[in-house]
Amino acid sequence: MDPHPSVVATKLLARKKFIDTGEQFNMIATSWIQSLIHDWIDHLEDTQQVELRAPHEIASACPLKSFKFFKTKRISTGEPDMKFGFLNTRTPWWNGSVIYGNNEEGMRRVRAFKEGKLRIGGDGLLEHDEKWIPISGDVRNCWAGFSLLQALFVREHNAVCDMLKEHYPDLDDEKLYRYARLVTSAVIAKIHTIDWTVELLKTDTLLAGMRVNWYGLLGKRFKDLFGHICGPVLSGLVGLRKPNDHGVPYSLTEEFSSVYKMHSLLPDKVILRDITNSTNPNYECPPVSQEVPMTEMTGKEGERRMSKVGMEQMLVSMGHQASGAVTLWNYPSWMRNLIPHDINGEEVPDPVDMAALEIYRDRERGVARYNEFRRNLLMIPISKWEDLTDDCEAIEALSEVYGEDVEKLDLLVGLQAEKKIKGFAISETAFFIFLLISVTPCYAHAAVD
């Protein structure tokens, strides 16, 4: 608790003014990574609640003077060098659980049980139950942009079912569902690897590297023509025919969970565009028709608003709106007094300060602080704040919160303060984790492609 999470959140994370990413990253990309995180990671919670109280000296600057939440449940591993770990309530990596569900009950709920298809509304958006909770694979802590992508990929799944049915008319409902899920999951993995990631880390080297990661060194054209002609020794040329998980099937590290804390990407409002004249060839940027606070785009209220806006207008609007930058003083203020949802999509009584909670979670789960984190990656640690950033205001604030003890620097703060490589929307330290965790699963899914 040193320094207090609420102090860190208030003095180093809380948004002063919205800082955007310009033309590099838009709100579709932001919603994309949220949907992927909801496919991969959610910690099992304990039954014991914790209360976090803001210290008196900063209490007036905190939207919540105190808030309660459930501890992360620790699980004994029985290993002497790792005494405890944490269970994931979602099925990690690219199996599309964000639209298909994480258990039998959830999977049955979203299926139409007709020609392999999933349930979708007549307007092309998700169906809802009588409480206006979406019928989808994941309904916890969602907003309109997130459910929009869920609906988009439900429609993709159903389109694949139509294609399969046309070419293989003898396939029954169950086989159509399973094959369409494989195809759709592979499409999601492919988009993330060679489209989303290369925008987040916008360099020619990364673009080439991620395409090699997916298609192999010989490239897409060779792979399309000849397929997997090489054995395991030369698998880097065209990818593996079968996945190789090195004996650890689809597990994610706490470090991976930590570097994906990117709520700064979210803005304060969604800017809706007027698309009534979108057929005009000179109509490059539709005019603004309405600005909606993010608080009105979350939960059930967001779902009702989405049903009025529609998929086309929402997609165009999100495509023209820049996301927030992953940097200091850009954490959404509305998320510091956030009403969370349970796994059924129902609101939880106690609001939370997400900025303070994220600092607490890393410490609670035993994630190393910034300097030790870099040492564990064989990266050079900082010895003074000037090693981290050239920003004089940031250096002054870091000194105020942490004193001169750079070893206390929290990982999330360090990642946001770190000087960035040109073209990178995230820090180099976070990139190391992306690279280490992501490469093998990409090869595994390349076999599906």
Burial class (CB in 10 A: 0-12, 13-18, 19+), 368: middle
> Residue 371 CA to chain centroid, in angstroms?
24
Q: Please tell me whether 246 is known to bind a ligand.
A: no
Helix (H, G, I), strand (E, B) or coil at 77: strand
- Name the one residue in this structure whose structure tokens are 């990407």: 265
Distance separating alpha carbons of residues 434 and 429, to the nearest angstrom: 9
Element (H, E) at 74: strand 74-79
Distance separating alpha carbons of residues 49 and 46, to the nearest angstrom: 8
User: What does DSSP say about strands 74-79 and 82-86: parallel, antiparallel, or unpaired?
Assistant: antiparallel
Residue 240 · residue 443 · CB < 8 Å = yes
The number of residues in the chain equals: 449
Residue 420 · residue 220 · CB < 8 Å = no
Contacts of 192 (CB under 8 A, 6+ apart): 32, 36, 94
Contacts of 89 (CB under 8 A, 6+ apart): 42, 43, 44, 102, 343
Burial class (CB in 10 A: 0-12, 13-18, 19+), 121: middle
DSSP 275: -
- Residue 260: active-site member: yes
Token reading at 197:
């990631």
> How crowded is the C-beta side of 400, counted as CA atoms within 13 Å?
12
Token reading at 442:
């990409």
Contacts of 396 (CB under 8 A, 6+ apart): none
Check 260, 331, 370, 402 and give the catalytic one: 260
Phi, psi of 324 (to 5 degrees): -80, 155
- Name the one residue in this structure whose structure tokens are 């993995």: 189
Token reading at 124:
């092309």
Q: What is the CA radius of gyration of the chain?
A: 23
Active site residues: 260
Task: Summarize the annotated binding site as residue ranges.
Answer: 263
Please give the annotated binding residues for heme b, written as ranges.
263
